[in-house]
Structure 1
Amino acid sequence: MFAKSFDAAVIGGSYAGLSAAMQLARGRRHVAVIDAGKPRNRFATASHGFFGQDGAEPAHMIAAAREKLTAYPNVYFIADEAVDASGQEGAFAVTLASGQTLRASRLVLATGITDILPDLPGLAERWGVSVLHCPYCHGYEFGGAPLGVLATTPHCAEKAMMITEWGPTTLFLNGQPMPDAGVLAKLARRRVTVEPISITGLDGQGQALQAVVLSDGRRLATTAIYLTPRTVMASPLAERLGCAFEDGFFGPIIVTDGKKATSVAGVFAAGDAARGMHNATWASADGVTAGAAVHHSLIFEGLDAA
């Protein structure tokens, strides 16, 4: 048991969580940041498109943000995993994997999501390097090279039409149904090649991708392949607390309002776990919103009853 109760506990120490903690720190509130050290984009070697940080390594960005937060004596970092949470507004208890319990008046869930990758030989080890999700984050560097889109949902045809902005594109159906005539016509206009034969694996030196290997023995030169993985919550805490969920583009997300408040009073959520579209900028911005909203809720707590 920690000796004191915190004004807020931020669970998750990546872009959203650290951004939320900064607002609370500057609001002179005592805040605990609980982080297990497994951010979603830990597989990527560079983060692109983030204001003033284009091309920076994600781990370095997070380390720099943590360093800035350590300047505030009212911020307490806990390198642990939050495995359970209970209670109500003003009196939450967070159980850590180490067995300790932390108490806080408010919670910010910046717990993130986990990508469920297709089971293809050579795919998982290239995730974030040459097997990718977002062309805005990882597209410019592959410009002009032969690219692929792995069909995982019917919406992947639209993704293939977009990827042609970066290079010649093949849509690998890999067992997914052939698009209808209208979609095929659009793909043709965007000069997307449709490959119906199933994939047996990805090949290349190290984490680089050089070819997609097909079941008929062909090897199609491919420098990067994009896919849309299904996602699940990286933590059970939102469900344990009773937060409402809705279906997002890729999987369930925590329902929040414009201030990032969940359906449970005193619990806020920010980052990929609480929005349909994902990137570092959105996660950080949502963290700012959540942190400021938590601070406001603490300021005005009980005033109406006074």
Structure 2
Amino acid sequence: MSSDVIVIGGSFAGFSAAMQLARGQRNVIVIDAGKPRNRFSEASHGFFCLDGFSPSEIRRRAARQLAKYPTARVIEGLVNSAKREGDGFSVIVDSGETYTAAKLILATGLRDELPDLPGLAERWGKTVIHCPYCHGYELRNRQLGVMATGPLSTHQAAIIPDWGPTTYFTQDQQSPDPEQTHLLTSRGVVIETSAVVEIMGETPSITGVRLADGRTIPLEGLYVGPKARMASPLAQQLGCEFEEGPMGPVVKVDDLKRTSVAGVFAAGDMSNKWQNATLASASGVMAGTAAHRALMFGE
């Protein structure tokens, strides 16, 4: 099946991109594997008019709205490969079907790589979180912790006291320098140098953490900055350039979300150095309108 544009990945970025193309009366196919980065969260927060809805419900609403446009189609499936073919591109889905288009929009997202700590993954997106603006309000005014994972952890620890009393666990790897120590202590942050070795409480709740020296610290929420990697190999398959972001590599794009490969656009977390649902949707809008422009002017 051929179309003007194939959008790989649904969620906030992919559906936002496809909506612009559908409204421009272009044939667009969205191929979505149904495994967005935020699927571990019970609700998505901070997105205008959809605050508190589950990621799956937001996706269902987006698919229903897009389906009202006669030039749009949504396909459930995982794209295993993508390549240039003539003046356009072809993709193969896990069902074995092949789809072709003049332009591609990649919105395949990122995969979070969490620290190897027992009990942490089971609580991810619930009581172990990363972004206070996305989920911090639900854990407000409780005893909170920040577990160091990289250079930005001290910055994270400095902002969390606005949501509750905060302890910063250096984990033997990210001890604050004198200037950072001054900032943290001025914000009321307690600095703990003994590493967290166990999360306590009945999942998904947290009642505290056990430290390497045997002590326990009462906690009800834990912030962790994970490393992030591409959720799909497609950008690499196509030869897109990458650049380093705060949490890991992202696809290099220009202001119109064009990648280094002509005809390929990237949107959402995989192309944004700073990431949340609203920014993902906005980048999808830009990628969709830019792809439409490229079709109009033969770019």
Q: 1:29 to 1:135 in 2, by over 3 A?
A: same
- How far apart, CA to CA, are the structure 2 residues paired with 1:280 and 1:295? 23
Q: Which moved more, 1:102-111 or 1:293-302?
A: 293-302
- How far apart, CA to CA, are the structure 1 residues paired with 2:124 and 2:264? 32
1:172 aligns with 2:162: no
- Per the TM alignment, residue 102 of structure 1 is displaced from its structure 2 partner at its CA by 1.0
**Partner of residue 29, structure 1:** 26
Aligned with 2:158 (options 156, 161, 168): 161
Q: Secondary structure at the match of 1:106?
A: strand
Partner AA of 1:133 in structure 2: H
Q: Secondary structure at the match of 1:8?
A: strand
Q: Which moved more, 1:138-147 or 1:104-113?
A: 138-147
Aligned with 1:237 (options 228, 234, 259): 234
- Per the TM alignment, residue 206 of structure 1 is displaced from its structure 2 partner at its CA by 2.3
Contact 1:7-1:29 at 8 Å conserved across structures: yes
Aligned with 2:277 (options 270, 280, 284): 280
Aligned counterparts, 1:1-306, within 5 A: 4-87=1-84, 90-301=87-298
Contact 1:90-1:104 at 8 Å conserved across structures: no
Contact 1:89-1:265 at 8 Å conserved across structures: no
TM-score w.r.t. length of structure 2: 0.97
Partner AA of 1:175 in structure 2: D
TM-score w.r.t. length of structure 1: 0.95
Q: Which moved more, 1:92-101 or 1:145-154?
A: 92-101
- What stretches of structure 2 of length at least 5 have no aligned partner? none
| Cα shift readout 1:252-273 (whole Å, capped 9, x = no counterpart) | 1011111111111100000000
Partner AA of 1:111 in structure 2: T
Partner AA of 2:119 in structure 1: G
- Per the TM alignment, residue 214 of structure 1 is displaced from its structure 2 partner at its CA by 1.2
- What stretches of structure 1 of length at least 5 have no aligned partner? none
Q: Secondary structure at the match of 2:256?
A: coil
- How far apart, CA to CA, are the structure 2 residues paired with 1:277 and 1:89? 35
- Per the TM alignment, residue 297 of structure 1 is displaced from its structure 2 partner at its CA by 0.9
Q: Secondary structure at the match of 1:179?
A: coil
- How far apart, CA to CA, are the structure 1 residues paired with 2:86 and 2:277? 29
Q: 1:89 to 1:185 in 2, by over 3 A?
A: farther
Partner AA of 2:87 in structure 1: G
- How far apart, CA to CA, are the structure 2 residues paired with 1:88 and 1:77? 22
Q: 1:193 to 1:264 in 2, by over 3 A?
A: same
* Divergent runs of 4+, >3 A: none
| % identical equivalent positions | 50
- How far apart, CA to CA, are the structure 1 residues paired with 2:33 and 2:123? 23
- Per the TM alignment, residue 78 of structure 1 is displaced from its structure 2 partner at its CA by 1.4
